[in-house]
Amino acid sequence: MRALLTPDYVGALTYEHLLAGSATTAFTLSSAVYLVAGHPEVESKLLDEVDRFGPLDAVPTADDLEHKFPYLDQVIKEAMRFYTVSPLIARETSEQVVVGGYTLPKGTWVWMAPGVLARDEAQFPDPGEFRPERFDAGGDEERRRHPYAHLPFGLGPRACPGRRFALQEVKLAMVHLYRRFVFRRSPRMESPPELQFGMVLSFRRGVKLVAVHRPHRIAA
């Protein structure tokens, strides 16, 4: 065990957990709020759903987050499509395989770009539009879409193990935020925002928003 847990290994593992557990969630939350701030019709539907949940002191349970916020779920999925946090996913073939007519020998590195898939017009009509309704489970667009067209958490046995927790974390944060505030884009925020590509996507100069209190929702 001592031979395995070298300082370099422990450091790399710690960095990976911090990156996966904080940077990605922070980016998803920031991008969702930024996008909603620029689309009043989306904000109106989101506020209506959040307000219908109950009084300010009612804390959503895990089951509530899973089943009582369908439009919020669509907003987050569309935000993850619009700004895909993981620009690249890499896999190494464990045996020779044929993909799309190409023979890949064992040990070949295969790179996939989820952000490119998320902008495929055949799967996402008008991909440059922020439209959460495209993820409505009862809609034609969602039913027609290839099940692997949107892969923000990867796929299969190597998919992100924190998927469920991360989604609930973002949902809970947005419920609490929109119960008390709405957000407006700051005039100091460039448009479109400049992105920085690394292990995960980020906003090069951050997201600049103005938080506006919702007086009728402030608890006494």
Residue keyed to tokens 């040990």: 107
Q: Which region, left, alpha or beta, applies to residue 98 given φ > 0 means left and ψ of -120 to 50 means alpha? A: beta
Distance CA 161, CA 143 (A): 26
Distances (CA, A) of 90 to 50, 78, 111, 153, 160: 38, 23, 5, 13, 13
Cβ atoms 104, 134 nearer than 8 A: no
Radius of gyration of the chain (CA): 20
φ, ψ for residue 91, nearest 5 deg: -140, 150
Dihedral through CA 178, CA 85, CA 27, CA 32, nearest 10? Answer: -20
160 is in an annotated binding site: yes
Distances (CA, A) of 157 to 38, 80, 153, 154, 160: 37, 21, 11, 9, 9
Distance CA 161, CA 81 (A): 19
Helix or strand run (H / E) with residue 209:
strand 209-213
Feature table: binding site = 160
Feature table: binding site for heme = 160
